[in-house]
Amino acid sequence: MANPKIHERSSSSFKPINKMLLKDSSFSIGTTYPASVKEISAMLAHARKNSPEEQEMVQNEVYENNNGQGRRGSNLNTNNSHHQCGSFFAKCNCKYEGQDSVFNFQSPRSNSIPNTKNLHEEKRLSHPEIDLSELTAKPSNVCLKPKSPGTPSPSTVIKANVFLNHPEITFPIPVEVSKEDFRNHSIPTHLYPELKHKLDYHKATALAYEHQKNQTINKSKEAEAEKFFKEFGLFGPMGNGITTNFKRPSRNSLEENINQIKRNSKNLGNKKMSSVFIEDYEHLKVIVARLRKDITDMEMKYTAAQVELHETKNLLSTKESEVLKLQREVHKLKSVLHQTASCQVGEDILASIQEQYTMANRLLPSPTGHHETVSHHKKQGVSAESSEQCVQVGGEIITTKFEKDFRSKQLIKDAIMDNAFLKNLDTSQIREIVDAMEPREYPAGSYILRQGNAGVHVFVSAEGEFEVIQDDKILGHMGPGKAFGELAILYNCTRTASIRAVTNSKVWLLDRKVFQKIMKRTGLLRLQDNINFLKSVPLLQNLSDEVLSKIADVLEVEFYPAGAYIIRQDASGDTFFIISSGSVKVTQRLPGHLEEEEIRTLSRGDYFGEQALLKEDCRTASVIALHPGVECLTLDRDSFNQLLGSLSEIQEKDYGDEERLNNRPVLIEPQEFDYIKLNDLEVIATLGIGGFGRVELVQYVKNPSLTFALKCLKKQHIVDTQQQEHIYSEKNIMLSCRSPFICRLYRTFKDSKYIYMLLEACLGGEVWTILRDRGCFDDHTCRFITACVIEAFDYLHSRGIIYRDLKPENLLLDEKGYVKLVDFGFSKRMGYSSKTWTFCGTPEYVAPETILNKGHDRAVDYWALGILMYELLTGNPPFTATDPMKTYNLILKGIDMIDFAKYNVGRSAQSLIKKLCRDLPSERLGYQRGGIMDIKKHKWFQGFDWDGLNARTLASPIQQPVRSPIDTSNFDCFAKDNDIPPDETSDWDINF
């Protein structure tokens, strides 16, 4: 089948040919080819001799002869000694002779196109000598009815088209063959001379094609072609797309026709079929190469998939074998476990009974006007009794010890080490807890603890069997050696389940106050011992108690077994050692000797390596631990310098501790609005509900433009939870504070049922409410809120005040969108180097040292600042669990266990959070030598306008509309409190 592109190109070039085609379509080949060479040659000869009428007769004769029966074409192949290209020219340059030349015969009605085998090759031009006289001398009908011998009669003649298979002659030439020759696919020999010698027309075509191929042709050849056209009277395009006039044109149109021939030849040159096929060929080559590459890639992927499939099958087979093996083991153990299941209870059961915890005597009503889901409930602060109550007369902390045999001590110790929380205590603390636990026996059916009651003891089951009951449903059973109720030794909380003795049983118990005494005494004893050790070092003995206390916080305990080298001679080192227990020997190898010589022995209280705090130098001797081992307090130079700076700076610096302690000014601020009485206030709406009472928006009836927030606390509840000291501390601290980032307290009131605090009304709403509605804050908003808190902390810490209850619930917005700290119930004024042991705060925000009762100071506020940043950026605190004990255990695992990528927290924010939430207080940013300025200089605050924040000119990213002094639209709606508390007449609030 012919290429459609070639056919399309040819048909577009041969539109004018319809004018010269014969009227009878028997010689027509559609709109693609002109009449045959012989017919046109005959017509040209008659045009030179005959009149127009005679020419018309010749044409009619040709038409009649072409109406024969041989319409169907065929291809005849003959072997002759002409050129392979099919040319009969004498000077063809195809360089080939005598093989398989082909005459292609087709019926004149066939619409097939010529054989395109050679059309894509470079065209070869030939220029034979043409004898024009031969053409003019031959009769006009010689090509129509040849008279040579062997010519068939007209009745047996079939007309067929001959294709010369030459690049320049791509149109058919009609010939007459007999029906027999046509059927035998042979050609009469008398036609060879006719085709070979009548090449006038071919010559003209060759010249025209030569003109189209070479844009700049020889002038003589162009003139030769023009002369040929004039002699034969043929005007118009030649070759493919031929049109002709059989009448001689006028001389005036001769030049125009010649120009038309040139233009048509040029158009044919621009439409070479070879270029199309070259482009197609190159395009196909690219496609084939790409397909081969794709096939290769697919084969590689297929091979890799086969390998992966094989490996997966092997792995699956292995896993199936392991599962089968484990199933068999489980089946074997089921019978054994079934026998002891009734005597034991899993840790999950003990943990689950604390999931619905709350502080004793405290209920938190839910708001009625706003949706508050379980995942977005307000976090509840918790607090134990003040640690100051643990100190006995004379400042000595006394605990009672109970005699126990070795088996009982080991049982209690094993139970403590098996408890997820208690196992984090120090060895000395565990030893004292074991000694302080007292025995108690319970008969069968009695309750060790009851659900809903306030708890103050931690228990260890010693003998008997116990059952765990929650909501009248038995959750499980447990036997001896289990610790339970440990949350009660941290702060006052209600029991969330009941424990009942199934048989006559015995337990060991420890009271919360005793536990607090133990933790405080061991902490103070450890701190004092470390300070005494440090004072014994000449290099450090002139330092103040504040500096020594900080150094004592940095000291780490290291144990070395007997024979271990603590330091080696000539090795570089940066660590300072103080022996807390055990002894070491110091050896030295003199120059020229191989053996080390013992110099001296050091024991408890001695130190070595103190020069490492000044500079890095080579050790001048070796120190080896003696039997049974040695425990040392260590301090490295980097931690020392980071916490306090260089030793020379410390020795020259005057911290002014004594002057500050002896001359601390008593802040007596005049009370504002002292003319306002409690009866002059009218309640407008409830702004919030807390654990100890409510906060009401009140209006001064004599001046409606004055509104305040009135905090109402139930006196009886304060007494029940022993929070009197915290309430006084809150009053004194808030009255003394004058910071734009801290909510003002103007004055206080009291009656028989409540105590009242008249506070500044911050009507922009709670940060917690906005966080709940938005889900989380972006970096810009979080940075602004955190900066406001930092300024508040800077103000408090510079006055020796720790806050201890930072969370979004305690942050309010004023009418400009600036953040203020509220609720100072857990705040405390303390010295710069002192510590406190009271457990207080919000479970998700308490620091590790608070949980472990190691004593804490302002470093807990920096920990809470990191937790606040995380919650503002993600919507939830990093440490959250279903019950507080699980939360505390997560906190003790550290901030490095948190996956920041889960919430897409930025790198600079991650860096600041991790530096604020270090496990060791001395490593936290803000607590080190640079103070709170280290936080402000962090990369996360780069470019922040601290001056604009303090001047309140920096625009807040949170702008809550406040339409009037009594607008409460930014707060949740709360139901009216109909619970009237009883009178409390102990007069603990006489100075309130």
3-class SS letters over 800-827: CEECCCCCHHHEEECCCCCEEECCCCCC
Q: In b/e form, how buried is each residue of 147-172, taking b as 16+ CB within 10 angstroms?
A: eeeeebeeebbbbbbbbbbbbbbbbb
Q: Is 550 annotated as a binding residue?
A: no
Strands 556-560 and 466-470 come out as unpaired
Residue 707, strand partner residues: 699
User: How far is it, in rounded angstroms, from Cα 991 to Cα 249?
Assistant: 136
Element holding 105 (H helix, E strand): strand 102-106
Q: In b/e form, how buried is each residue of 757-773, taking b as 16+ CB within 10 angstroms?
A: bbbbbbbbbbbbbbbbe
Q: Which tokens belong to 271?
A: 């439409």
**Peptide bond before residue 921 is cis, with ω within 30 degrees of 0:** no
620: Cβ contacts below 8 Å, ≥ 6 apart: 569, 588
Q: What is the DSSP string of 498-564?
A: EEEESSSEEEEEEEHHHHHHHHHHHHHHHHHHHHHHHHTSTTTTTS-HHHHHHHHHH-EEEEE-TT-
User: How far is it, in rounded angstroms, from Cα 540 to Cα 929?
Assistant: 18
Q: How many CB atoms lie within 10 A of CB 430?
A: 18
Least Cα distance to 696 among 709, 705, 677 occurs for 709
321: Cβ contacts below 8 Å, ≥ 6 apart: none
Q: What is the DSSP string of 237-288?
A: --STT----SSPPPGGGHHHHHHHHHHHHHHHHHT-HHHHHHHHHHHHHHHH
Given the structure tokens 């035998």, which residue do they identify? 184
End-to-end Cα spacing for the chain = 112
Least Cα distance to 390 among 523, 266, 263 occurs for 523
DSSP-derived 3-state class of residue 473: strand
User: How far is it, in rounded angstroms, from Cα 235 to Cα 245?
Assistant: 7
Given the structure tokens 């702004």, which residue do they identify? 687
| 617 catalytic residue (yes or no) | no
Q: Which tokens belong to 619?
A: 């050790």
Least Cα distance to 502 among 441, 458, 446, 440 occurs for 446
DSSP-derived 3-state class of residue 102: strand
Least Cα distance to 493 among 524, 466, 453, 529 occurs for 453
Active-site annotation holder among 181, 553, 794, 805 = 805
Please report how the helices 545-554 and 637-644 are oriented relative to each other, as an axis angle in degrees rounded to 10. 140
Q: Which tokens belong to 48?
A: 């030179």
DSSP-derived 3-state class of residue 766: strand
In eight-state DSSP terms, residue 398 is: -
Least Cα distance to 640 among 620, 604, 618, 610 occurs for 610
948: Cβ contacts below 8 Å, ≥ 6 apart: 954
562: Cβ contacts below 8 Å, ≥ 6 apart: 625, 626, 627, 628, 629
Q: Indicate which residues carry an active-site annotation.
A: 805
- Which residues are annotated as part of the binding site? 711
- Which residues are annotated as part of the binding site for ATP? 711
